[in-house]
Amino acid sequence: MSATHTDVPARRAADQDCPIREVLDRVGDKWSTLIVIRLGQRTRRFNELHREIDGISQRMLTLTLRALERDGLVTRTVYPTVPPRVDYELTDIGRTLLTPITALHEWAVAHRDDIQHARALHDKAVNDLEARSEPGSLATRA
């Protein structure tokens, strides 16, 4: 993206100073949430996390772990072995995330069917409305 690119609005100063936005940007993304849940169970190695978190690329796992480490939520311990062994675990502050994230996970599991049903009803209503408003349909000829 060039320096003259103007289609993307700059973040307002008020947005940048909003603590909830800053925190949710980190802990609210799906990869961070899944990593915190896994590390809440026990310490993991990189490849364990990669195998357990379906769909995450090695690059995204690396970037997310680095960001969580930078924010003080995850620690990375390197052992001087050949090959090097690296363990990841939640910090004390990272463990405090387990309660709200676990509650969100339980809510999602409990309401998944309800949400899928609501989506199906909504999509059907939208499709029916679009079908009635298409040129040449019976509804537009009346």
38-59 pLDDT, tens digit per residue, is 999 999 999 999 999 999 999 9
Residue 77 identity (one-letter amino acid): T
Q: What DSSP element (H or E) covers 12?
A: none
39 close to 74: Cβ distance less than 8 angstroms: yes
Provide DSSP, 30-54.
HHHHHHHHHHHHS-EEHHHHHHHST
Q: Output the average pLDDT for the chain.
A: 86
Cα–Cα distances in Å, from 78 out to 19, 121, 135, 140?
32, 51, 65, 68
Strand order in the sheet with 85-90: 44-45, 85-90, 74-79
Percent of the chain predicted with pLDDT > 70:
82
Q: What is the pLDDT of residue 84?
A: 87
Is the predicted pLDDT of residue 1 greater than 50, yes or no? no
| Portion of the chain with pLDDT greater than 90, in percent | 64
Q: What pLDDT digit, counting tens, does each position of 89-115 carry?
A: 999 999 999 999 889 889 999 999 999
Which residue, 97, 91, 89, is CA-closest to 42? Answer: 89
For the entire predicted model, the pTM comes to 0.70
Q: Specify the pLDDT at position 8.
A: 46
